[in-house]
Structure 1
């Protein structure tokens, strides 16, 4: 058997940093969504790029799967070792290697989390803005091409990663991109590895684009009588060119969940949560222009978060929305969708999705980063109820079909993993075969995170 032979070699290489303890295996076989517990055969804890390369070389020789693990916060089963092998836990590679404030850049290892990075950046006046909600690792965010609440202003990981160091399936270490602001040199390999979910290579270093911390920040919520007017407000705001830092939608079920779990006192109505960044004068102007649109759409008065603490509490509540919504049905598990459509089709997409969920008999709170056309339905399924899970999966597939019909995508930020792999042909057609060919070229033995994104091995 190739896996035991590989593990024996890896133990000689890593010693007690190769774990086969039941708690470690269980922790690395769990996930935040509906997938079954899937423990790996072992967990490796590398501390350098050189060690990652040696681990991969050993696994390559023996045909042993290698599955990168960041913070374990992904929602589509990305980091589960579905074919056994080694879970490669990158948490010890969590350093900041360099900060170049004059270039607004940082060089980091993949295991550092976004919160830890921004804590270290505070004294520089800079920040890394990509905010998927969970305190994800930067490497995992790059591997899934994550985005989040601030993408409407600052972009996604695609826009904020300049260069990578990557270990390939044969143990070679390559560098992609550079610290230059732009390049016309060769294929965009950085873009290739962003969103590849560990199936083409293992990211061991990232050069990030930083942004200045805003001089002034203002945040608020406002309620609407119905979701249609709330979504229409978002569309009008984006089309008017107001540079929103965040503009989030939640339906009445999410407001109810926030009240129950976070002690909020929101009317149980659809809401928008917004934030403005800039100079004090710019923030005031943005808020005034947005307020005019809200008034035209029949929205309520803003409820302002006037202090840093209040803003932090507001966005903490938003970031914990998944767990708050799960509590609406105690003991339930969540199947989370994340389609993205052109902003002009957003209201239509939300309206059809709401009707579809209501007809299904399931609870499915809707919320999302609607400033860029991305929204989620959290479908609440009784744990162990195969019939409900089948209904939820069918709902999610119809949401994906709806997004494609409207010129959108099956996933705006969560990625493919194994949860959405069956939808890839519908979105990409023959281009999915091209992805499979790239996978076969870079990983002919299929050892890197097998069972994710593409078919075959």
Structure 2
């Protein structure tokens, strides 16, 4: 951790002098808390905020923003700290605004299949609340992230192939702007032609335009039948080709995840699954009993034709939970391959027809550079992750990792892909965003400057300010 606070001391102290009477013990300058609120799941060096403020209402968020805006003190919204590209780091110091106490379910409209929640509600807490309604919220990035944070980073996950991402499941937002004004974007209606789509301007803005304080989300009925399985393949190309064909003929898989042989070895070691160490698909099918049976039959035929080694089923709820828990713990399992290591995590997304080639090429590059890096991906939408295991004290190894990562991103861009499918830009993908979007980044910076002219909202993320 590094304390790189750059906020002018007089301005910071003036802001804190106004905040302390309002928040009392809910404002802290303790180093341990500041470190906790600067640390996410990424490998990036984590500069610390100057203080942490725990808010419990939208009105309190407005109060913080008015004071910080007046004194030009940076504000970094904090949810669960599960981001992957340094989103919550504080390169200019300032205030870490902890929204975890804003954890109320505000309005459930079961008949309309929507719910409005405060930003600090986690996805697991929401689904626990919905359990007796027959409804669920499907976006599952793995971590028990807050829904405000998931909206801010345009999160995705294992269910995206069927249910979409946060971008398609956020109907409306409540947002506090940098100067403390409160706006509401969108409505509970399923479509609108009224003005600019401000909801989706803030979804994915990574806290650089305002603080999301409430989110209205689409809900879905819990499927009558859920079946999960794993299927190993003779080759990675066979696994991806099976997926492509399944999507082309319209098999509505709910989840279809690819783990390469290195990641399977890690999962076996961590979870004791005993799977063949080969490219493997983790699958889940949702629907009626008859519909699921037909999906399974069709997918099985495609898998067999492409080197699939047969399904291993997880039929009971406990077995399915264990299977997906193993998948979601892939990062921690990977660390077990090299105890004491840190993980440099990266992701790209490509058209699914290019996915097999993209993964094979990065696997070759990993081997040629003497690295250990399991690969897993949401193969149904062309998004895959590389978990580079690294010694943070080995400058040569870090340089090789960065070079391999850069070539992987360049290849993704060359086939019409993106530098990040779901991790976001944060501090880690800024240079690659410029490669991908070109002059459009200047338009993003102009929008940022118009909404946040003082540059206090999560500075240093996505792109650098306009000169």
**2:210 paired with 1:201:** yes
**1:358 and 2:376 correspond:** no
Q: Which segment is superposed worse, 386-395 or 186-195? A: 386-395
- Contact 2:33/2:52, CA 8 A, preserved across alignment: yes
Aligned to 1:27: 36
Q: Give, in whole Å, the separation in 1 of the partners of 2:236 and 2:245.
A: 14
**Selected match of 1:111 from 99, 116, 120:** 120
Instruction: Tell me how large the CA RMSD over aligned residues is.
Output: 0.9
Is the counterpart of residue 75 in structure 1 residue 52 in structure 2?
A: no
Aligned to 1:421: 430
The answer to whether residue 406 in structure 2 is matched with residue 397 in structure 1 is yes
Q: Distance in 1 between matches of 2:128 and 2:278?
A: 35
Number of residue pairs aligned between Structure 1 and Structure 2 = 457
Is residue 2:376 matched to residue 1:367? yes
Structure 2 counterpart of 1:185: 194
Which of 282, 294, 297 in structure 1 is aligned with 2:303? 294
Query: Following the alignment from structure 1 to structure 2, what is the Cα–Cα distance between the partners of residues 68 and 420?
Result: 20
How far does the alpha carbon of each residue in 1:187-221 deviate from its partner, in whole angstroms, 9 at most, with x for none?
00000000000000100010000011000000000
Unpaired segments ≥5 residues, structure 2: 1-9
Match of 1:219 in 2: 228
Contact 2:152 2:204 in 1 (8 A): yes
What aligned pairs does 1:5-20 form with structure 2 within 5 A after superposition? 5-20=14-29
Query: Which residue does 1:453 correspond to in 2?
Result: 462
- Tell me which of 93, 105, 118 is aligned to 1:96: 105
- 1:37 shift after superposition: 3.5
1:327 aligns with 2:336: yes
* Contact 1:163–1:208, Cα closer than 8 Å, also in 2: yes
Residue 7 to residue 437, structure 1, CA distance change in 2 (3 Å): same
Shift of 1:298: 1.4
SS of 1:120 mapped into structure 2: helix
Farther-moved stretch of structure 1 (387-396 vs 60-69): 387-396
In 1, Cα distance between equivalents of 2:39 and 2:393: 16
TM superposition outliers: structure 1 runs of 4+ over 6 Å:
none
Is the 1:144–1:195 Cα contact (8 Å) retained in structure 2?
A: yes
Output one character per residue of 1:10-46: Cα deviation in whole Å (capped at 9) or x when no partner. 1121111111122211111212121223221110111
Provide structure 1 residue ranges, at least 5 long, that are not aligned to the other structure. none
Cα deviation 1:107-161 (Å, max 9, x = unaligned): 0001111011001001111110000011111011000000000000000000100
Q: Displacement of 1:455 after TM fit?
A: 1.0
- Does the 8 Å CA contact 1:33/1:333 hold for their aligned counterparts? no
CA distance in 2, matches of 1:293, 1:218: 18
Q: Whole-Å Cα distance in 2 between the matches of residues 74 and 386 of structure 1?
A: 24
What is the rounded CA distance, in whole Å, between the counterparts of 1:373 and 1:65 in structure 2?
A: 36
What does the per-residue CA deviation read over 1:75-125, in whole Å, with 9 as the maximum and x for residues that have no partner? Answer: 100011111000011100011001000100000001111011001001111
Residue 129 of structure 1 aligns with which residue?
Answer: 138
Residue 173 of structure 1 deviates from its aligned partner by 0.4
Name the counterpart of 1:152.
161
Shift of 1:353: 1.6
Q: Secondary structure at the match of 1:300?
A: strand
Task: State whether residues 46 and 86 of structure 2, in contact with CA within 8 Å, keep that contact through their aligned partners in structure 1.
Answer: no
C-alpha contact (below 8 Å) 2:172/2:215 kept by paired residues = yes
Alignment partner for residue 381 of structure 1, among 383, 390, 395? 390
Question: Equivalents in 1 of 2:220, 2:17: separation in Å?
Answer: 46
Question: TM-score under structure 1 normalisation?
Answer: 0.99
